[in-house]
Each structure stands twice: as structure tokens, then as C-alpha cells.
Structure 1
Amino acid sequence: MTTQPTNEAAIQQWNTFPREAMEAMEPDGDFAKRHLINPVLLRMLGDVRGRRLLDAGCGHGYFSRMLAARGAHVTAVEPTDGMLAYARQKEDALGQGIRYVQADLARLPDLGGDFDAVVCSMVLPAVPDWKPAMRACVQALRPGGLLVFSVNHPAFEQLLTTWRTHGAYRLSRYLEEYEIPQTYAPAFHRPISAYLNELSALGCRLRECAEPGLDPGIAQEAQHTTPGIESYVHLPNFLIVAAERG
């Protein structure tokens, strides 16, 4: 009998994420987040000054700090000990007013009222029992509030490694759900329809889907250190979705 992965097991695996990797992503995340994900998230959120935002699955807190620097009132939730400790240390040093809460997204505590927007960036693919996590994000919103989430694009996962091997992208499994081994903890493949249909079931109205491509000039600058990066110009490695709570 195959043991089904659990959120608790995933959290323990992500607890092995090293501090030096967090420090290397200061101040605005890794290459993909800087050039592909962050600009779209910020555009979708719009002016966040004075708004109450939840960073759901904040990791080491880099995006929470970006939102706070733009004037948002940020509450951030993270289940892992190591990344949460790092985020709290940064808050102690910077004093941005970010409130950090340790919790599994699937079992959110009372966070003190509804939020104007919830950001859940690159989190759902790491959560085995993801539907309760998405439901909690939606329920944390005020009516009409905005949920913005990003995932590895289900049609183009492992884009870079596949491109390096074949000079093109190849995919043999899409419709089923399965684990994708990674360095620290697995990701979980699900088709796009799984995410969008769950949004609909939760009463959300889709506002926008984005599939960002990398600027060719940035790809050219990075090609010597990151072979295959030109694949990001031609195919989207990420899917970013904005939806309103009904």
C-alpha cells in the first residue's frame, strides 16, 4: 500500500531548507521570482498602501517585506520553523510591522478579521492536501477581496532541465496528479483545471490568468551562468492567477 503524503510530512521536509539559501534570495527572491513572478503579483495587487494583506505561506518572508515596504499592513503565515525564524529575525531588524503567524494553511487560526487581498505564491504545489489551503485563503478575504496565487505552470514543469536535455520541452504526463522530486521536498503536479475548478467551487470570479515569459535581453545576459534559460523566453514556467471572492 502506498502511503499518501501529508502536510505534516511536507512541512518537516521544508524545514531542511538552509539559511544560506534564504540569505542568497535577499532582497527579492531568486531569479525567477525577480524577473517573472514578482512583477506580475505586484501588478495584479495594484496599490497596496493602507490595505490589509495576508501572505499565505510566506516562506522566509521576502514578499511580505516587499509588500510592507509599499505601505501594506501585512500578516504572514508560515508553517516551518526555520523559515519563520528567519522572517521574524528580519522583522526584528527592519521593524516593518509585519505580523508573522506559524500555522498550516489548511488550518488557519483566527487572524483578526478579513483581508483585502491574499497572496499565495508558489505554495499550493508544495501542499499535498491543497484544497483546504485554498479554501482557507478564500475564506480569509472580505467579500470582493482578491486572491492572487502562483504555481509552477502545470503544462511546463521542469522546463529548464528538460530543455537542457532535449533542446525542447517534452511532457508525457499531464492529466494525472503525481509527485515531482525536488532538492528539499517534493512538488505536486495537478492540471490547470484542478486549480481553476476549485476556485469556481469556492465561489470566486476569475479576474486574470498570466503566463509570463522572460525578457530576451535578460535571458541573453543570464545564458552563460544558466544554460537553457532561453526556454523561459519561449514557454511559461509559471501560471499566476487573480480571482475575486464572491
Structure 2
Amino acid sequence: MTKQPTNDAAIQQWNRIPREALEAMEPDGDFAKRHLINPVLLRMLGDVRGRRVLDAGCGHGYFSRMLAARGAHVTGVEPTDGMFSYAREKEQALGQGIGYVQAELARLPDLGGPFDAVVCSMVLAAVPDWKPAMRACVQALRPGGLFVFSVNHPAFEQLLTTWRAHGDYRLHRYLEEYTIPQTYASDFHRPISAYLNELAALGCRLRELAEPGLDPRTARDARDTTPGIESYVHLPNFLIVAAERL
């Protein structure tokens, strides 16, 4: 039986991301975040002016900076040395008032009281022991606060690679949990029910579930540089969830 990786081991893997890869994602993330994830997250969060927002697992801080530019009072939590340092450097240069804290999500320190919203984008699927991290996100909210998270869609995680190989999408395993190697670190497959049932167990009410598809015009513009990108028009590569803490 394969031993389950620890959260600390996963954090060390994510520390492998080189600085040039972080700089390439300025100012609003990579292609998928720019066209599929960010617009949905921002719509779900609504007007954030004057609201306390926790960016849980903020990475190099691009979404924290987007939220601060929209008037939110942002705290970003990131466990890795490299991405945390990069986010701090950007804050020192831009002076947006973002407070960055280096910590693992499952072991959050005192962050100064409850938040109006917590966003956890493309993080939970990268955490081996993910339930304590989700619990910490929910517990950081005030009653009625909004928890928004995104993950690779568990039914279509390897959409682009399989589409390129076969001209369609093929999935052979869904119900069990397993590791998916990525460029710098691993993600962990879990069925949709795992995330939604844990939300319910934590006392949250589901407000919306989104499965965004790529605009066909954007796909046409990108197809020369990204073969198979038309798959994003037909199938959702991402799952985005908004829930309210009761």
C-alpha cells in the first residue's frame, strides 16, 4: 500500500516552483485562471469593498492583489517559502495593504477575528490531508460569511492531455482517491462528493456550483499555441463552489 504524502512533504514540493514561473503569471495568473477561474471567483464574491477577505493558500499572491485593487481588506496565507517571499516583495513594492502570513492552512494562527469571505483557489486538491484545511477556512468565517473554492474538476482533471492523445476525453478511475503528478508537485484526485459532503459536515449551505467553459472565440485565438484547447469549450476542467457558513 502506497504511503500517503504528508502536508509538509507537499509544501516542500511546491517550493520547487522557480521565480520565473511566478513572474510569468503576472498580473492575473495563467491562461486558465484568467479566462475560466478568476471571472467566476470574482462574480461569486461580489462587491468586496471594505470587506475582510482571507486568500487561503494565496501562492504568489496574484488574487490577493486583485482583491485589494477592488477595495477588500486582504489577508493572504501561504506556507511555501518561495511564493510567500514573492508575495511579500510585491506588497512592499505596491503597498496595497495586504497582510501576508506564512502558515499551513490546517494550522492557522490568530488572523485578527472572523472574515466576511474566504477564497481558496486551486489549493485543496494539492493538500494531502485536506479536511483540516477546509475546516480552518470555514472556521475563519463569521456566521453568514462566504467560502469560495476552486479545484480541477474531478471528472475532467486531465482534460487537455487526454484530448490531445485521443481527440476526446477518457476517464478510467473516478471513485477512488489517487495522486496526479504535475510539473512541480502532485495533486490528489477525490470525487466531487468528498468536497461537498465535507462542506455539509462543516455546517455550510451550498449557494452555487459552477463548471465554467471556455468562450469559443478565446479557444480559436489560442489553438495555434495550445493544441487541444477546444476541449475547454466542450467540457469543464474546473469546479468552483460557493457556500455560506451557517
Q: Is TM (by shorter chain) over 0.5?
A: yes
Q: Which residue in 1 is equivalent to 2:37?
A: 37
- The answer for unaligned runs of 5 or more in structure 1 is none
Q: Which residue in 2 is equivalent to 1:186?
A: 186
d(CA) in 2 for partners of 1:240 and 1:110?
A: 27
d(CA) in 1 for partners of 2:16 and 2:182?
A: 12
**Deviation for aligned residue 1:200:** 0.1
- The answer for unaligned runs of 5 or more in structure 2 is none
1:45-82 CA-to-partner distances (Å, cap 9, x unmatched) read 00000000000000000000000000000000000000
Question: 3-state DSSP class of the match of 2:48?
Answer: coil
1:78-89 to 2 correspondences below 5 Å: 78-89=78-89
Q: Which residue in 1 is equivalent to 2:76?
A: 76
d(CA) in 2 for partners of 1:19 and 1:237?
A: 26
1:22-33 to 2 correspondences below 5 Å: 22-33=22-33
**Deviation for aligned residue 1:42:** 0.1
Question: 3-state DSSP class of the match of 1:209?
Answer: strand
1:1-40 to 2 correspondences below 5 Å: 2-40=2-40
- The AA in structure 2 aligned to 1:209 is L
Tell me how many residue pairs correspond in the alignment.
246
Question: 3-state DSSP class of the match of 2:53?
Answer: strand
| Backbone CA RMSD of aligned residues | 0.5
d(CA) in 2 for partners of 1:26 and 1:183?
A: 19
**Deviation for aligned residue 1:4:** 1.7
d(CA) in 2 for partners of 1:127 and 1:17?
A: 16
Q: Which residue in 2 is equivalent to 1:134?
A: 134
**Deviation for aligned residue 1:86:** 0.4
1:47-58 to 2 correspondences below 5 Å: 47-58=47-58
- The AA in structure 2 aligned to 1:171 is L
d(CA) in 1 for partners of 2:177 and 2:35?
A: 28
1:134-176 CA-to-partner distances (Å, cap 9, x unmatched) read 0000000000000000000000011000000000000000000
**Deviation for aligned residue 1:2:** 2.8
d(CA) in 1 for partners of 2:122 and 2:145?
A: 20
**Deviation for aligned residue 1:20:** 0.3
d(CA) in 2 for partners of 1:199 and 1:180?
A: 23
1:116-142 CA-to-partner distances (Å, cap 9, x unmatched) read 000000000000000000000000000
**Deviation for aligned residue 1:3:** 2.2
Identity of aligned residues (%): 87
Q: Which residue in 1 is equivalent to 2:60?
A: 60
d(CA) in 1 for partners of 2:221 and 2:183?
A: 26
1:69-118 CA-to-partner distances (Å, cap 9, x unmatched) read 00000000000000000000000000000000000001111101000000
Name the TM-score, length of structure 2 as normaliser: 0.99
d(CA) in 1 for partners of 2:80 and 2:40?
A: 26
